Amino acid sequence: MTPASGRTGVLGGTFDPIHEGHVAAAEAARKALALDQVLFIPSYRPPHRAAEPHASAFHRFAMVSLAVAPHPGFMASDVELERPGPSYTADTLRRLHEAGYEASQLFFILGTDAFAEIATWRDYPAVLDLAHFVVVARPGQALGLMRDRVQDLVARMRLVADGVPEGAAGPGCAVFLVNAGTPDVSSTEIRERAARGAPLAGLVAPDVERHIGRHRLYRR
């Protein structure tokens, strides 16, 4: 893993499967914060999810690779798949530091629902100093609620409007709030549709839909 110069987004997840909402969130963060690249990192085993992923690590990485291929600067990374066991964000960010990335260079992208649970994450609050955090609004979840739900972190929060973060840059890593219209789609919905052989057009990239159909993923 060779670090690139400039600003690097990091989007982790189970990606079971990756869908257009994931890609839209990454694109929104890239535009809002002028990111030079975005790493999509499938987790080996998500620590906040009791059940194992439905698709294998091989298929999930393959689908991520297919989904990001048409987007310049988007790349799939197997940094979490190389290590069995729970995939903790703090561990992944430290591995990126070991590979040469600076904390100030990394922008960890996540949705409002995930950030609302940040206090339950491993190594909280130290994890907040390993990268900037970029919270992208999910459908039906207003960014304004973040200030109420995570009051301890209000001092770190900076709303990004028209590509410009509000206020002066402070020391350390920030929490950037990005209001974007991302598609209202979920991996659960996609798995349910795939299980009955329903079309997935508009929910996942065409190559991902073909991969799911070819390998009969998520079929009962």
Q: What is the pLDDT of residue 4?
A: 59
pLDDT over 70 at 195, yes or no: yes
Which among 202, 155, 198 has a CA at the least distance from the CA of 174?
155
CA 139 – CA 156 distance, rounded (Å): 23
What number is the average pLDDT over the span 119-127? 96
pLDDT band at 206 (very low <50, low <70, confident <90, very high): very high
Nearest C-alpha neighbor of 149 from the set 113, 193, 185: 113
**pLDDT at position 2 over 70:** no
Least confident interval from 53-57, 95-99, 166-170, 210-214 = 166-170
Residue 163 token pair: 């590509």
Q: pLDDT value at position 210? A: 98
Architecture of the domain spanning 9-214: 3-Layer(aba) Sandwich (3.40)
**Cα separation of 102 and 81, whole Å?**
22
Question: Residue 216 pLDDT more than 70?
Answer: yes
Nearest C-alpha neighbor of 160 from the set 146, 142, 180, 145: 180
pLDDT, residue 182, reads: 86
**Can you tell me the distance from the alpha carbon of 123 to that of 120, in angstroms, rounded to the nearest whole number?**
9
Per-residue confidence (pLDDT) for residue 220, from 0 to 100: 78
Which is more confident, 194 or 179?
194
* pLDDT of 43 strictly over 80: yes
> pLDDT tens, 70-89?
999 999 999 999 888 889 99
Contact 64, 43 (CB under 8 A): no
For residue 52, the model assigns a pLDDT of: 87
